[in-house]
Amino acid sequence: MSQLSGFPARMEFTSIPNYFFSNLLPEIEDICELKTSLHVLAALYRKKGHPRFVSYHELLGNDGLMKSLKEGDGKPEEALRRALQMASQRGIFIHIVLDSDGSAEDIYLLNTESDRKVAARIESGEIKLSGLRAVTKPRPELEEPPDIFTLYEQNIGMLTPIIADELKEAEKLYPESWLRDAVKEAVALNKRNIRYIMRILERWSSEGKTDGAYQRVSKTDPDKYIKGKYGHMVRR
């Protein structure tokens, strides 16, 4: 280790948030994360214009940083990537992935309230950066709801051949949404059996079903179906 002879008489200074020293520095144990965080803070401080951000490739071109990240047989590029990930997960920086002529480009902003708003506008495409554009995120595929047979087994009970036949017949007579809502109604009233579900469907068929929303029978008479013609077939 070479010994420093002293700082020069005239030199530049870099501003570091006091919060970094008081709250973050005591928590950072990885030396690569510490070195990288300080270099990113210094780079952001020297930036001009708006918004202020540092790209991964900019940091790769920082000879001082990359030299300091050499560890044994490990590659400094891997150490940089790992350090940036740790710092971003810690909440020091905001990490955004943008597109640069078909290649991914990682940029980093300081995690302040104003920059969080800026980051959201960058990702939405409202703020455009020279040579970079927001990556279009694929829309998550909507999970298909379970069929009525699976729904019955998940919420009511074991599906027997006789019950399966009754559900098949019900599918021919009633809309699918009615069957699903009838199951919900039976579960809500803790009347988990096929007879109760069929009576709900029969009532909706004769009395109507408002706006596709299932009606809470408990607001009238929870034993309405039991008192009916087929009451003896309903297990309480």
pLDDT of residue 235: 47
Nearest to 111 by CA among 92, 124, 95, 127: 92
Cis peptide before 51 (omega within 30 of 0): yes
Same domain for 38 and 95, yes or no, is yes
Whether 31 and 123 share a structural domain: yes
Residue bearing tokens 């927001």:
134
Residue 146 has pLDDT above 50, yes or no: yes
Asked whether residue 89 carries a pLDDT value surpassing 90, the answer given is yes
Using the predicted structure, report yes or no on whether residue 33 has a pLDDT greater than 90: yes
Residue 175 has pLDDT above 80, yes or no: yes
pLDDT tens readout for residues 105-114: 999 999 999 9
Given a cut of 80, whether residue 88 has pLDDT beyond it is yes
Q: How many domains does the chain have?
A: 2
CATH code: domain of residue 114: 1.10.10.10
- Determine, yes or no, domain membership for 8: no
Long-range CB pairs of 91-97, under 8 A, 24+ apart, other chains included: 92/20, 92/24, 92/37, 92/40, 93/37, 93/40, 94/119, 96/53, 96/122, 96/123, 97/135
Residue after which a domain boundary falls, among 83, 112, 134: 134
What's the whole-number average pLDDT of the chain?
83
Model confidence band, residue 145 (pLDDT cutoffs 50, 70, 90): confident
Place of tokens 């969080």: 116
Identify the pLDDT of residue 233. Answer: 47
**Last residue within a domain, chosen from 99, 134, 169:** 134
Question: What whole-number distance in Å separates Cα of residue 7 and Cα of residue 117?
Answer: 39
Q: Are 62 and 71 in contact (CB under 8 A)?
A: no
Range name among 61-65, 84-88, 207-211 with the lowest pLDDT average: 207-211
Position 31 in a domain: yes
pLDDT, residue 217, reads 42
Confidence of residue 140 (pLDDT cuts 50, 70, 90): low
Q: 141: pLDDT confidence band, cut at 50, 70 and 90?
A: low
Among 44, 57, 46, which residue's Cα sits nearest to residue 115?
A: 44
Q: What is the C-alpha separation between 166 and 10, in angstroms, rounded?
A: 89
Token pair 């027997």 is at which residue? Answer: 160
Same domain, 108 and 156: no
Q: Are residues 64 and 105 in the same domain?
A: yes
* Residues 128, 24 share a domain: yes
pLDDT of 135 > 80? The answer is: no
Q: Do 177 and 103 reside in the same domain of the chain?
A: no
pLDDT at residue 63 tops 70: yes
Last residue of a domain, one of 134, 163, 195: 134
Q: What is the mean pLDDT of residues 149-177?
A: 90
| The pLDDT of residue 210 | 63
Residue 215: predicted pLDDT: 45
Same domain, 105 and 201: no
How many CA within 13 A on the CB side of residue 94? 21
Same domain? 103 vs 154: no
Angstrom distance (rounded) from CA 136 to CA 232: 59
- Name the phi and psi angles at 134, rounded to 5: -65, 145
Helix (H, G, I), strand (E, B) or coil at 104: strand
Structure-token pair, residue 183: 């199951």
Residues 198-220 have a mean pLDDT of: 67
**189 shares a domain with 94:** no
**CA 216/CA 190 separation, integer angstroms:** 12
Q: Is 111 exposed, middle or buried (0-12, 13-18, 19+ CB in 10 A)?
A: middle
pLDDT of 118: 93
Under the banding of pLDDT at 50, 70 and 90, the label for residue 225 is: very low
What is the domain extent for residue 59? 18-134
First to last CA, the chain: 84
Model pLDDT, residue 7: 85
Q: Is-contact 198 162, C-beta < 8 A?
A: no
- Centroid of chain to Cα 235: 43
Amino acid 31: pLDDT: 92
| Mean pLDDT calculated for residue range 23-34 | 92
Q: Does 201 lie in the same domain as 119?
A: no
